[in-house]
């Protein structure tokens, strides 16, 4: 955008010459996350070695289609090709208090279940606030703008609370969730909006699609209206993948290398 490729109005209001008007910065996707923290009464039970087993089990099994009632998923949900919820189990270093205790050398006997929306329907955007490249852009994530996203996250957190109540977490580790009290849907919404955070999976702002349909790059990753300019990163995704972005981005890079090689050979 700083080079003059982007939305005309946003470029002009920042005194940037418009070289090509494209919807750069629109179509911003991310995987929003939220978590439930539990106190663990058994000392040292959340050490890395012991936590490994529960974390591996969650990664294997807790991919499922959301149920607003917080129902524990059955086996047929485990191998869903496009899971909409992902769970992570870890000792809690997301909470500011836990981070402060960790820095001071105090033991954190806590366990966190993090819920992540794999297929959010809410879409954000970003805008330039200045032509100075050292000034951060304005970012509008629009988390939970669509009601479906809010209900899916609510469902996963209700499930997390049920997981904490199951043995051996409740019987051996003495886990006590920070949301053990009865909560209305309004309470859950307040909780989610207060504790929402990014998974750092932002993508989609230079969408690959026909220019007539809001695209910024074509199927060969070339920026419309330019020569010898490609975009090779997660920003070209039309929609967000249902999982971490590392592997899909590596595939884009691999494909780009082949496309560049093809173009070079065709010119020879």
Answer for the pair 116, 85: CB distance below 8 angstroms, yes or no: yes
For 117, list phi and psi in degrees, rounded to 5. Answer: -80, 115
| Cα–Cα dist 228/58, whole Å | 45
Is 201 among the residues known to form the active site? yes
77's enclosing H/E stretch is none
Which structure tokens are listed for 41?
A: 């009464």
Which structure tokens are listed for 197?
A: 């955070």
Residue 5: Cβ-neighbour burial (10 angstroms; 0-12, 13-18, 19+): buried
Catalytic entry in 31, 77, 125, 201:
201
Residue 117: Cβ-neighbour burial (10 angstroms; 0-12, 13-18, 19+): buried
- H helices present in the chain, as ranges: 8-12, 48-61, 96-103, 147-164, 185-195, 246-267
Catalytic residues: 201
């Amino acid at each position: 955008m700083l080079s003059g490729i982007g939305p005309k109005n946003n470029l002009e209001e920042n005194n940037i010459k418009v070289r090509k008007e494209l919807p750069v910065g629109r179509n911003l996707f991310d995987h929003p996350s939220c978590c439930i923290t539990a106190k663990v009464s058994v000392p040292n039970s959340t050490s890395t070695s012991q936590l490994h087993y529960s974390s591996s089990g969650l990664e294997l099994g807790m991919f499922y289609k959301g149920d607003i009632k917080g129902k524990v998923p059955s086996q047929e949900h485990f191998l869903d090709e496009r899971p909409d919820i992902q769970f992570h189990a870890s000792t809690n270093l997301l909470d500011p208090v836990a981070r402060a205790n960790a820095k001071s050398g105090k033991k954190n006997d806590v366990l966190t279940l993090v819920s992540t929306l794999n297929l959010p329907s809410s879409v954000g955007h970003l805008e330039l606030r200045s032509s100075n490249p050292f000034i951060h852009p304005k970012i509008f994530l629009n988390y939970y703008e669509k009601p479906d996203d809010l209900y899916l996250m609510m469902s996963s957190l209700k499930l997390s609370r049920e997981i904490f109540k199951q043995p051996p977490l409740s019987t051996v580790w003495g886990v006590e969730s920070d949301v053990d009290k009865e909560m209305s849907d309004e309470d859950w919404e307040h909780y989610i909006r207060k504790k929402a955070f990014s998974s750092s999976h932002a993508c989609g702002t230079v969408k690959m699609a026909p220019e007539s349909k809001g695209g910024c790059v074509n199927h060969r990753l070339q920026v419309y209206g330019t020569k010898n300019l490609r975009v090779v990163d997660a920003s070209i995704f039309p929609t967000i993948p249902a999982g971490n972005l590392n592997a899909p981005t590596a595939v884009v890079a691999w494909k780009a290398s082949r496309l560049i090689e093809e173009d070079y050979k065709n010119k020879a």
